[in-house]
A = this chain, B = another copy of it.
Amino acid sequence: MANSQFAMAVHVLTMLADNCDERVKSSYLAKSVNTNAVVIRRLLSDLHEAGLVVSRTGYSGGTCLTKDPEDISLMEIYRAVSHGEVFSLHRQKPDKDCPVGKNIESVLCNLQKEIDKAIDERLGNYTLRDIISMVRRGEEIFA
């Protein structure tokens, strides 16, 4: 199943940025993302580990950002929620008796790192503030 955590994370963080002055409830976020509140809380748990949000339990609890939207890059968000890489290495180990099989994994592993770096660089060009601008611009266009 395709992993949509990054998409949900950007969505959620944009919502939080739009409500910087209050604590936002998971049920409210869940409604906008169109999923279950527990799914949102799990996501917020990862974002909290990455230091991007802070939550409070209890009556009038909820979540807010820990820093300004212009100080949160998409790379941070991506790293906070992405476990896997762009492509996976072999599921079964290749045959070590084959000259290619013996070395292909380390070559692919280096390639993986190189691509991850390219993604990081590209995502590092944007902040949450940029996303907010784009979302707002979209609103004007389609309103």
Contact = CB atoms under 8 A, between A and B. Distances in A.
Given A103-B142, A118-B121, A7 B90 contact: yes
Contacts of A1: 91
* Copies of this chain, whole number: 2
B122 A107 contact: no
A70 interface: no
Interface residues on A, range: 35 or more
Main SS at interface, chain A: helix
Contacts of A74: 111
Contact of A135 (B4, B33, B88, B103): B103
Contacts of A50: none
A102 interface: yes
Interface string A68-95: 0000001000100010101111111111
Interface string A105-140: 011101100110011011100100001001110110
B131 A107 contact: yes
